[in-house]
With several copies, the nearest count.
Chain A
């Protein structure tokens, strides 16, 4: 991560598709250099919120105020990993990872970064697959390429939408540690469905729940992420988190 990560502040966010409002008047703070996890029922608007922060609009109406602690605009220093893997089908795994460099600096700039990209691919367990097309990868492999691409971006603010959802428990555990390590100091906002994952990685956990959906800050897990999964405190917190999630579901 280059430079000091800012905190991000969203006020009065509202989003509407056709006649259906996803949420209205949400406030969110992403503390500088901390990892925030967002949980919530499927379809409640987590992806929409993430996209809104990333500056991506497909909704029919989008409102809100977004600012960074350093007063500069957020655009241009945020990495985004979508819920779909969004790999370019026509180019190799390696080229997919260096896509950002390529888009910003052209072919030459991308070539210089290929070493770093290859190292990242090794780190996510895809050594030897650099020259394969995405079409020949398994679902989890594709997700790992997308993760490598996001880590490659090296941005102070990182938005990730269920980045580990297609991975087996062991690989997931390992890549959580990797991400936690590489994104240390970044302002991270991650959507996840796995309470344990949130408890392992997050400095702060928010739950989007209710009707209309509201953000409820729930936890600020203690200790340094990544936390070990066999920590008894974590198991206990997981129970409490499940109850909050269950309540949210019942309220909706």
Chain B
């Protein structure tokens, strides 16, 4: 059922794409049709796989480091008010600096290899994770915190046992955004300078007007994002299952059968 839906979405997207190409008469060197892209995808599957693999590693490492850094900053920010006052502006700035300005600096410090891409991807997902987590941590139920204080809990114990679990749903929100953003982080990281990876392949293909190859790479990247997002989503849902959710549909009132005849 779920797989079926995904397939239908995919088919719908492709149709939309085809329609777009036809209706707006976009020249193929700007937006090729899905068929051309699919053919190219199959024809250069090895190449895509080779570069895709590199990018996948960067994405996962970036997600890992970024999440770790983000969570650590958030804990720091919530643990002490001074940290918050000083760290928050830094955090915001970290988000606002365009990569290309930092690229030479990053290459200088981290070299041309994996490291600089991972740093880039981490930087990009760092802020959403940290911001969401901070918000979650600060929104802990004051009643619970009061209770813990009377119980003689240290601020650290309160952080770990009360604020942290309570902030998981908010953290999950941030992580979902991060999961969808990490691929673009890695690709932008490859922009810093590389000779492998989907980002490299795309720029390369773009520079040479191999637009169908570029879109094939793009499709693979989108696939990564979706896989990452929905895998993480499922995992996070399990972790925050205690949190009541109310779909407009799922929590609908049931209806009892009206009585038919005397029973």
Interface 0/1 of A70-91, CB less than 8 Å to B: 0001011011101010101111
- The residue on A at minimum CB distance from B251 is A58
Q: Please classify the interface of chain A as helix (H, G, I), strand (E, B), loop, or mixed, using the class held by over half of its residues.
A: mixed
Interface 0/1 of A3-28, CB less than 8 Å to B: 00000011111000000000000000
In the complex, the answer to whether A66 meets B256 with C-beta atoms within 8 Å is yes
Indicate if B146 sits at the interface (CB-CB under 8 A).
yes
In the complex, the answer to whether A90 meets B151 with C-beta atoms within 8 Å is no
Q: Chain B residues near A63: list those with CB within 8 A.
A: 256
Indicate if A67 sits at the interface (CB-CB under 8 A).
yes
Q: Chain B residues near A84: list those with CB within 8 A.
A: 143
In the complex, the answer to whether A9 meets B165 with C-beta atoms within 8 Å is no
Indicate if B109 sits at the interface (CB-CB under 8 A).
no
Indicate if A55 sits at the interface (CB-CB under 8 A).
yes
In the assembled complex, the Cα of A54 lies from the Cα of B145 at a distance in Å of 13
Listed by A's residue number, 14 A-B pairs whose Cβ atoms lie within 8 Å are A11-B259, A58-B146, A62-B254, A76-B152, A79-B151, A80-B150, A84-B143, A86-B143, A86-B147, A88-B162, A100-B151, A102-B161, A103-B157, A104-B152
Indicate if B248 sits at the interface (CB-CB under 8 A).
no
Give min CB distance, A96 to chain B, whole Å.
11
Q: How many residues of B contact A (CB 8 A)?
A: 35
In the complex, the answer to whether B254 meets A57 with C-beta atoms within 8 Å is yes
User: Which B positions have Cβ atoms within 8 angstroms of A?
Assistant: 141-144, 146-154, 157-158, 161-162, 165-166, 168, 240, 242-244, 251-260, 263
In the assembled complex, the Cα of A79 lies from the Cα of B148 at a distance in Å of 10
Once A64-B257, A133-B242 are accepted as A-B contacts, the answer to whether A58 and B142 lie under 8 Å apart by CB is yes
- The residue on A at minimum CB distance from B257 is A65
Interface 0/1 of A100-133, CB less than 8 Å to B: 1011101000000000000000000000000001
- The residue on B at minimum CB distance from A133 is B242
Q: Chain A residues near B258: list those with CB within 8 A.
A: 65-67, 73
Give min CB distance, A124 to chain B, whole Å.
18
In the complex, the answer to whether A55 meets B165 with C-beta atoms within 8 Å is no
- The residue on B at minimum CB distance from A159 is B150
Q: Which of A13, A58, A64, A75 contacts B152 (CB 8 A)?
A: A75
Q: Which of B143, B148, B154, B255 contacts A55 (CB 8 A)?
A: B255
Q: Which of A51, A65, A91, A99 contacts B151 (CB 8 A)?
A: A99
Once A57-B254, A62-B256, A66-B258 are accepted as A-B contacts, the answer to whether A80 and B263 lie under 8 Å apart by CB is no
Q: Chain A residues near B260: list those with CB within 8 A.
A: 65
User: Which A positions have Cβ atoms within 8 angstroms of B?
Assistant: 9-13, 51-52, 54-58, 62-67, 73, 75-76, 78-80, 82, 84, 86, 88-91, 99-100, 102-104, 106, 133, 135, 153
In this complex, the member of B162, B251, B257 whose beta carbon has the largest number of chain A beta carbons within 10 angstroms is B257
In this complex, the member of B154, B165, B259 whose beta carbon has the largest number of chain A beta carbons within 10 angstroms is B259
Give min CB distance, B172 to chain A, whole Å.
13
- The residue on A at minimum CB distance from B169 is A90
In the assembled complex, the Cα of A102 lies from the Cα of B257 at a distance in Å of 30
Give min CB distance, B111 to chain A, whole Å.
42
Given A52-B256, A65-B259, output 4 extra A-B contacts at Cβ < 8 Å: A55-B256, A67-B259, A80-B151, A86-B143
In the complex, the answer to whether B146 meets A56 with C-beta atoms within 8 Å is yes
In the assembled complex, the Cα of A56 lies from the Cα of B246 at a distance in Å of 13
Q: Chain A residues near B252: list those with CB within 8 A.
A: 57
Q: Chain B residues near A58: list those with CB within 8 A.
A: 142, 146, 251
In the complex, the answer to whether A64 meets B256 with C-beta atoms within 8 Å is yes
In the assembled complex, the Cα of A60 lies from the Cα of B141 at a distance in Å of 19
Q: Chain A residues near B165: list those with CB within 8 A.
A: 88, 90-91
In the assembled complex, the Cα of A76 lies from the Cα of B154 at a distance in Å of 11
Q: Chain B residues near A12: list those with CB within 8 A.
A: 263
Q: Chain B residues near A9: list those with CB within 8 A.
A: 259
Q: Chain A residues near B242: list those with CB within 8 A.
A: 89-90, 133, 135
Give min CB distance, A63 to chain B, whole Å.
8
Give min CB distance, A114 to chain B, whole Å.
16
- The residue on B at minimum CB distance from A85 is B143
In the complex, the answer to whether B166 meets A103 with C-beta atoms within 8 Å is no
In this complex, the member of A10, A57, A66, A103 whose beta carbon has the largest number of chain B beta carbons within 10 angstroms is A103
Give min CB distance, B79 to chain A, whole Å.
16
In the complex, the answer to whether A56 meets B150 with C-beta atoms within 8 Å is yes
Give min CB distance, A132 to chain B, whole Å.
11
In this complex, the member of B154, B256, B258 whose beta carbon has the largest number of chain A beta carbons within 10 angstroms is B256
In the assembled complex, the Cα of A9 lies from the Cα of B258 at a distance in Å of 10
